[in-house]
Copies of this chain bind each other. A is one copy, B any other.
Amino acid sequence: MLTSVATTRNIVSEMKDRAASVIHSGSRFATSNVLGLMGVTVRYERGAEIFAEEEPAEYIYQIVSGTARTCKLLSNGRRQIGAFLMKGDYFGMEARDTHCFAAEAITDVTVHMISRSAAFAAAGREPEVARALWDITARNLDASQQHSLLLGRKTALEKIGSFLSEMAERQGCDDEIDLAMSRQDIADYLGLTIETVSRTMTQLECAGTIALPSSRHVVLKRHIELERLSLC
């Protein structure tokens, strides 16, 4: 496939400027896993910027391993994290030609990069691919709207409750979760300050709803209590 070769060369040359390295270059479409095997696999170090706000949107990404975040900045340093990206999550699909948020690696991250043009070309040929692209975007939209409800109308306690429930569900874990992100990341995700996040976590611990053996490790002791807080 011609575009794939050219694409790979572009990525490799770009990688010099970044804390990233090409791991594997696929050359075949897999219609079963639809977008899974297109493009190349790339690794970013913890803290690295995967792409910047306003950067041309040339690729679509899927997380293979690790955790990343999408974020937007406002003047005087205010930041809003739009989503935490974990294994299997797609991101970087923009309606316009430039990214309208930045993506950064929270931990070391491995991603599949698929060139936008190749993805659209494939979508034009194979309805399944087109449907998959749409489906991914629609799911991201769902998540974003759900998040708007949290940001606009939930209290700090409900926000933390919702966040912990979400993380538990996404880690497929019954009652223990490891947080890859800092308190600042959580605060910027929930529209709170780092101090309020900390205080609210402590409050939940005192109430016996959770335990905090360490700041990044949370034990959910009363899962039902969290569900009640999440409302929805």
Contacts and interface: CB of A to CB of B under 8 A. Distances in A.
Report whether over half of chain A's contact residues are helix, strand or loop; otherwise say mixed. helix
A166 to B, nearest CB: 15
A5 B136 CA distance: 30
Contacts of A127: 123-125, 130
Interface string A95-129: 11000110000000000000000001001110100
For chain A, give the interface size range: 35 or more
A34 to B, nearest CB: 14
Nearest to A83: B145
Interface of A: 70, 72, 74-75, 78-80, 82, 93-96, 100-101, 120, 123-125, 127, 130-131, 133-135, 137-142, 144-149, 151-154, 188, 190-191, 231-232
Given A95-B142, A120-B131, 20 more contacts: A74-B153, A74-B232, A80-B148, A80-B152, A80-B153, A94-B138, A95-B141, A96-B142, A100-B142, A123-B131, A123-B134, A124-B127, A124-B131, A127-B130, A130-B130, A130-B131, A137-B141, A144-B145, A151-B152, A152-B190
